Amino acid sequence: MEKKEFLYEGKAKKMYRTDDHALLLVEFKDDATAFDGEKKDQLTDKGILNNRLSEIFFSFLEKKGVKTHYVKRLSEREMLVKALEIIPIEVIVRNIAAGSISKRLGIPEGMALKKTVLEFSLKNDDLHDPMINHYHIYALDLAKPEEMAVIEKTALKINELLQPYLKEKGIVLVDFKLEFGRHKGEVILGDEISPDTCRFWDSGSGEKLDKDRFRRDMGGVIEAYREVLRRLEGGT
């Protein structure tokens, strides 16, 4: 597979064309950002860890019948994926209150939610990814009702699959963010699944094993990502 011209750069990844027009190459960077890019740093090896962790999550989900853009990992930082027409909606799945929902609704972090919460945001950093609902989605024609049905069903299925998988590794899946896109007429999962896009808490101590360590200046960010990888690779 040949790496061809550079396509675009996001906050954590760069995309390149390949010699197959249906496939793209993703390069995971060490850049860490928070608050829509206001806070920035370089975290050595973050890209390598997120590439490997995304590979593990995507492979697991594919095995369970979830369609994703993942094809294979090519190198330490590179992953081959199916080219998607991105649907500009961030889909957030929450099991336990944390982060923005705690602030917005005045509920304590760590409070279990009686029912899984799904939220949608418009993918637009300049506008700080504003929360939207189905009315906005259809009014702006961001996705069709049939596509939203697939997105919601898939997001909830991913939650049902990842919660027990992570629990076995001593990790509580607090919340996570997904992105979807269109590929050959189908809506499939895109982007990444990593401690950048999920909240992972240690089951015993409640210790944060995700990007909140960076957002909140807690230190030990990369150590936490490494710990997640160690557990997923079957270490004890």
Segment near ligand ASP (CB under 6 A); pick from 27-35, 103-111, 186-194, 199-207: 27-35
Segment near ligand ASP (CB under 6 A); pick from 32-40, 54-62, 166-174, 181-189: 32-40
Candidates 33, 50, 95, 121; binder of ligand ASP (CB under 6 A) is 33
Instruction: For residue 36, give Cα distances in angstroms to 39, 85, 129, 139.
Output: 8, 22, 8, 25
- For ligand TMP, the binding residues (CB under 6 A) are 92, 98-101, 129, 175-177, 197-199
For the segment 154-213, give every residue that binds ligand ASP (CB under 6 A).
211
Q: Is 37 in the site for ligand ASP (CB under 6 A)?
A: yes
**Which is closer to ligand TMP, CB of 128 or CB of 144?**
128
* Residue 13 contacts residue 69 (beta carbons within 8 Å): no
Segment near ligand ASP (CB under 6 A); pick from 31-39, 85-93, 142-150, 202-210: 31-39
**Which is closer to ligand ASP, CB of 157 or CB of 215?**
215
Q: What is the number of residues in the chain?
A: 236
Query: For residue 48, which amino acid is it?
Result: I
Helix (H, G, I), strand (E, B) or coil at 157: helix
- Closest approach, Cβ 195 to ligand ASP, in A, equals 10
Segment near ligand ASP (CB under 6 A); pick from 33-41, 57-65, 139-147, 178-186: 33-41
Ranges assigned E (strand) in 30-158: 31-34, 39-42, 70-73, 78-82, 85-86, 89-96, 112-122, 131-132
* Count of residues of this chain found to bind ligand ASP when the rule CB under 6 A is applied: 8
Residue 161: closest CA among 116, 210, 123: 116
Candidates 11, 17, 123, 157; binder of ligand ASP (CB under 6 A) is 11
Instruction: For residue 130, give Cα distances in angstroms to 45, 122, 180.
Output: 31, 6, 17
Query: For residue 46, which amino acid is it?
Result: K
Q: Is 131 in the site for ligand ASP (CB under 6 A)?
A: no
Query: For residue 158, which amino acid is it?
Result: I
Residues that bind ligand ASP (CB under 6 A): 11, 33-37, 211, 215
